[in-house]
A and B are shown apart, each in its own frame.
Chain A
């Protein structure tokens, strides 16, 4: 794995049990899809680099949380140190969509004093025939809560790359604007290392580093 990246973002992936969070991550980081997988215990980890602009890579550190209720208290501790998250529901599972609000509330409650940028993900888009949640209502909910919305499928690899790229770009944009900064004792955004060559020519990339608000 290429070791050079300009930032590291920590993203958390949340949503009801069995909506396919781990599969989504496995597809994204590993390029593979497995039909059956054990439920996640507590939290698991993935990592991948994303190139947002030519030569500018961001390392995503992905915290894959358990959807099961019994691990909820563990998961709560992890919001605080995440800069962004994927809030995943299953488009064939109405209930998982209805729980989106709860997830958001919980996240808001535990992320303070920081902020967290979510992307709403309607997963399992390959099962369109069994769809229980229309794209319109999902988009509406996303808009109301200040999120973007995307539909993905880990099975046929639809929009998997896109979903992570969209979220990463959004965070990167906020970082460039100075809305988000690197802070001591916060793991959400970390500054990476740029080889000397790149360093001198791309001074502009590094404003976030100085922004220790």
Chain B
């Protein structure tokens, strides 16, 4: 009933179950050599076998050795963590512990002497960043629909499906399956956004594990803070968990997260760098929470209206209207990230973004502008420019005083800046930019909702608006991905001399908040469904009364 995404997911689940029995016994999938031309199906089987392996084969070890410590650590996580985690159903806890245990094992096996390797993961992660963020986001939108149909009660298969979503690779496969185009692409490593994933599972899989154990290694050194970031290394997983339990709203979850941060900050007032890089608090300072709450109010009210209208109608009228409303809802599930080049070579100043956004918003034909979003994008760009100027001004240790350019008088100032400009600064800028862009995106959706509900004569069909808005969402999420990429490039470049245990958590942090940002944007987008449905009902009654 929902859409293709839903069926895809459940379909996938079943296959998965079969695979589990196979993989438990023989591990057939894993024996496939990498790089062989695989059909997406068999790729998937392999994938599933792998992820099953990850989860299924470990529990004895975890339960006995790390059950308690994992529990404690999770408490620490909920203390420090910024990202929303709604009070979750109990089932996934076990899984989480298993994951932790698994990760722990992973890290201990990798621990000593492997820093060189981990020093690289940031960079390799970098190259896959855009696609990862995009696909995670996409996975989540499907998860939402799945959660909606499941009435909030996760079945064991769903819980395991969550695990599959962990690190976003599940979404990858849903994608590959649902579109024939993607299917053909996934066999060719060079084409399309998923090209880089298409030798497929090995690359993705190792990225995921790398993130996890890279962070865990660092954990040994810097403690809980990373753990906190880490535990969120699975946006899909957490998020799905949250959505399964639908009685907490997004703004509630975010508010709780922000409050936790405030509590934390209140405890450690002295550390200002800490304070600056708290996504949740920044998000609130940019009024993201308020707009989200207001949007939720509108959404809920609209939902109520839709229900009462449907209730009041009967017979064929209901069926017709239901169909129309369903069509609108469908348009909301079409959020897909263009298969065309994910790598935007527009220099990253965001002008392309602003232009695209303006065009789309004008298609909506409501009096809204992208001014605030453009400004947020510009701020982000300025921060990046500042960081890269510092970078380029940074004297090479090997060749001092060479080719410093014409701005000689500015040089000493720049050098001063270099001192001040640490990787932490860039990290802070990145988090700030992401929080600002996300808050403004949600504000934009809020304004759109208000205007759609109260624009006098809708000469644009609700359905067309839904489609346009879904494009807007894609544009926004892409920009989030692109920003995080630019910032992490800066981090990697400037942090070349930093210790990995300093640099890695920062890079991870940026990627995670980027992926969270994409999730919030998409969740906020989903809140528009009932709003557009109400608008559809309104325009209907307008035409009939005329």
Contacts and interface: CB of A to CB of B under 8 A. Distances in A.
Nearest to A77: B297
A193 B290 contact: no
B453 A74 contact: yes
Contacts of B281: 3
Kindly name the residue among B269, B275, B291 whose own CB sees the greatest number of chain A CB atoms within 10 A. Answer: B269
A46 B297 CA distance: 18
Interface in A34-73: 41-43, 45-47, 61, 63, 70-71, 73
Interface string B262-306: 110111010000010000010001010011011001100100000
A42 B446 contact: yes
A72 to B, nearest CB: 9
Interface footprint category on A: 20 to 34
Contacts of B456: 70
A201 interface: no
A195 B291 contact: no
Interface in A58-116: 61, 63, 70-71, 73-74, 77-78
A193 B454 contact: no
A195 B265 CA distance: 8
A71 B266 contact: no
B421 to A, nearest CB: 23
Interface string A172-203: 00000000000000010000111110000000
A42 B447 contact: yes
B451 interface: yes
A63 B294 CA distance: 10
A47 B287 contact: yes
B267 A74 contact: no
Interface footprint category on B: 20 to 34
A74 B301 CA distance: 10
Contacts of B263: 193
A187 to B, nearest CB: 8
B450 interface: yes
Contacts of B389: none
Contacts of B450: 41-43, 71, 74
B91 interface: no
A78 B291 CA distance: 12
B451 A61 contact: no
Contacts of B446: 42
Contacts of A41: 367-368, 447, 450-451
Interface string B362-394: 000001100000000000000000000000000
Contact of A74 (B262, B290, B454): B454
A3 B262 contact: yes
B266 A195 contact: yes
B282 to A, nearest CB: 10
B301 A77 contact: yes
Contact of A193 (B266, B291, B293, B298): B266
Nearest to B291: A45
Contacts of A195: 266-267, 269
Given A45-B287, A47-B285, A47-B287, A193 B262 contact: yes
Interface string B414-458: 000000000000000000000000000000001100110110100
B301 A196 contact: no
Interface string B153-179: 000000000000000000000000000
B454 A71 contact: yes
Contact of B294 (A3, A43, A70): A43
B54 to A, nearest CB: 39
A77 B295 CA distance: 11
Contacts of A1: 285
A138 to B, nearest CB: 31
A74 B294 CA distance: 9
A39 B266 CA distance: 38
Contact of B266 (A3, A43, A70): A3
Nearest to B450: A42
Contacts of A166: none
Contacts of B275: 3
Contacts of A141: none
Contacts of B269: 4, 195
Nearest to A44: B287
A74 B265 contact: no
Interface in A105-129: none
Contacts of B298: 74, 77
Contacts of B285: 1, 47
A49 to B, nearest CB: 12
Interface in B446-472: 446-447, 450-451, 453-454, 456
Interface of B: 259, 262-263, 265-267, 269, 275, 281, 285, 287, 290-291, 293-294, 297-298, 301, 367-368, 446-447, 450-451, 453-454, 456
23 contacts: A1-B285, A3-B262, A3-B266, A3-B281, A41-B367, A41-B451, A42-B446, A42-B450, A42-B454, A43-B294, A43-B450, A45-B290, A45-B291, A45-B294, A47-B285, A47-B287, A61-B290, A70-B454, A70-B456, A71-B450, A73-B454, A74-B453, A77-B298
